[in-house]
A and B are shown apart, each in its own frame.
Chain A
Amino acid sequence: MSTSAKPIANTRSATGIPTARLITWWVIASEIVIFGGLLATYVMHRIGHPEWADSASHTLTWAGAFNTFVLLTSSLCAVLAHKAADARDGPRAAKLLRVTSLGGLIFLSVKAYEWTIDIREGFVLSSGGFWSFYYALAGLHALHVLAGMIILLIVAADAAKNRELQRVECIGLYWHFVDIVWIFLFPLLYIAR
């Protein structure tokens, strides 16, 4: 990261919440309405189209469940990184953030494998109602996982040198949010019938 000085504006805190964490919460708030909008749209359709249950039964529940486990575990690593950063142990925080990012990689790899199977069975984005939503929802989520992975590594690089440790908590918050979205996607796409 660059070493340019921060403006005083960045260091003040009239609310008592450090600026970095404050902006993270605002980002999460904006993401709630984005995912919420797409999820609400899916729910409207799913309830109105009970016949989609047949398509929905073809999703690979074991892949979804394993991925849920992966994200939960990576969230654990992220919050342990936060704890390490609080103790000003930058190298340990960096290591944990990198494991978190690895969790994201595993998640995306399993998803790639899962989608390969789905596509081979003929279920693609344009396969109709359920599948269009499935790929749109999981795809948007996967994009956020990918972005998170990259930012995790960037923050880890700084943290390893004991720099910008406040960012460890912030990227953790984002990652937990991505985890929560998946916590709801999993039953919606894999369990509910």
Chain B
Amino acid sequence: MTNESHIHHPNYVKVWAALVVLLIVSLLGSMSHVRYVLLFAAFGVAAIKAYLVAKNFMHVTVEKRFVPYLLVLCLLFVVILFAGAAPDVMKHSGLHWNKDSAKQAVQSGMGAAPKHE
């Protein structure tokens, strides 16, 4: 079963180095107190790392187009699930309804003096 090389192999060590640098960036960013820096350090960097792995290690971009379409479609389904369920699960009140136990949990949890940072 020959595996004809459908791939031109880039310098994988360079990609790895970039990933490690990004890891360090996310760690440094996590120590910030600015909300947007924190969010980017956490999720923005993660998205970039994921893209680098998908592109360079998994070679998604040189695959037949059906593959990235399929993967994106599955991600889309997850987004649809989130969109349909979050209004009930994430929120604690809506049109004529309240989730009292959750509201109470938030209140008592946030009301406590901040112990750690």
Question: Per the CB under 8 Å rule, do A and B touch in the complex?
Answer: yes
**A→B interface (CB under 8 Å):** 11, 15-18, 20, 25-26, 28-30, 32-33, 36-37, 39-41, 43-45, 47-52, 54, 57-58, 61, 65, 68-69, 72-73, 75-76, 78-80, 83, 85-86, 129, 164-166, 168-169, 172-173, 176-177, 179-180, 183-184, 186-188, 191-193
B12→A43 contact, CB < 8 A: no
A44→B85 contact, CB < 8 A: yes
By size class, the interface of chain B is 35 or more
B92→A40 contact, CB < 8 A: no
Q: How far is the CB of A143 from chain B (nearest CB, A)?
A: 20
Instruction: Give how many A-B residue pairs fall within 8 Å (CB-CB).
Output: 162
Chain A residue numbers with a CB within 8 Å of B15 are 76
Q: Say whether, besides A44-B85, A83-B9, A86-B9, A49 and B70 are in contact (CB < 8 Å).
A: no
Beta-carbon nearest neighbor of A128 in chain B: B105
A48→B71 contact, CB < 8 A: no
Having A39-B78, A79-B56, A166-B1, one finds 11 other A-B pairs with CB under 8 Å, namely A25-B67, A25-B71, A36-B74, A37-B81, A40-B78, A49-B105, A129-B105, A169-B3, A183-B49, A187-B42, A191-B38
Q: Say whether, besides A37-B81, A86-B5, A166-B3, A51 and B110 are in contact (CB < 8 Å).
A: yes
Q: Which secondary structure characterizes the binding site on chain A?
A: helix
B53→A75 contact, CB < 8 A: yes
Q: How far is the CB of B10 from chain A (nearest CB, A)?
A: 10
Let me know if B64 is at the binding interface, CB within 8 A.
yes
Q: How far is the CB of A30 from chain B (nearest CB, A)?
A: 8
Beta-carbon nearest neighbor of B44 in chain A: A187
B64→A65 contact, CB < 8 A: no
